[in-house]
Amino acid sequence: MVSGNKKTPKLILVGAGPGDIELITVKATKALQSADVVLYDALANEELLTEYAPNAQHVFVGKRKGLHHVQQYYINKMIVRYARKCGTVVRLKGGDPFVFGRGFEEMEYAVSHGLEVSYVPGISSAFAVAPLAGIPLSVRGVNAGITIVTATASDGSLTEELQWAVAGKGTVIILMGVSKLNEIAQLVSTHRGYSEVMAVISKGSQQDERKLFAPASSIYKESMVQGIETPAIIVVGKVVASALQLIKSQLAAAEIQRT
């Protein structure tokens, strides 16, 4: 909507998916095409900007652990400022903005300052990355629950939710936990045994994806040797062993075919 030459200040909160640009929704691409300004974070694939918002102004506001380019306080203010000045602001966030993405905080701030606000969900890495790497989130007869947690509390300790989840029997998907992998592996060893197979998937869904399968007793050391990088998710649960067994069977079958 335009009043004279002034566009209506608007925020569209958009999930960019786990990284592969083909894993973005049609509605999200339409939102990008409508943007006057795109504020994008470090986990959003920049190819989406050139593909769907080539004429918009692109502003990087990425935050990663230890590398906070722009603090959340200033991001909130930038959303309002750009919307009032330019019109439609698309806030492009990796995964889904409402899954540990602080998207709701940004929406609340925008609403409190009179902006029109809408939300376009994205495919969260919590649901997509493990299956794309061959690990199901659930297998009949293996697990009856899935828990998604973030690893670190505001004081730097492991979250209570993580400790409760690992103490249970279901699948646990851990986001933002690579820096705490040693502590997480020790926790898994305590509750599920040293031989419990875990997985770490780095840069899931992307061409440079890397995945590591290892017992809780050695996964931290192996991740250091292999140089596993963020962003990454950690998977705990019997489904990991099931997936590893299938991968080994596939490799064995391929070897037989070659000989």
Q: Which residues are the active-site residues?
A: 41, 63, 176
Q: Residue 180 gets which letter from DSSP? A: G
Sign of CA dihedral 74, 76, 81, 87: positive
- E strands along the chain, which residues? 2-3, 6-7, 10-15, 37-40, 57-60, 63-64, 67-68, 88-93, 116-120, 146-150, 171-175, 197-202, 210-215, 232-236
For the record, the structure tokens of 133 come out as 């790497």
Q: Report the b/e string of 71-106 with b at 16+ CB within 10 A.
A: eeeebbebbbebbbebbbbbbbbbbbbbbbbebeeb
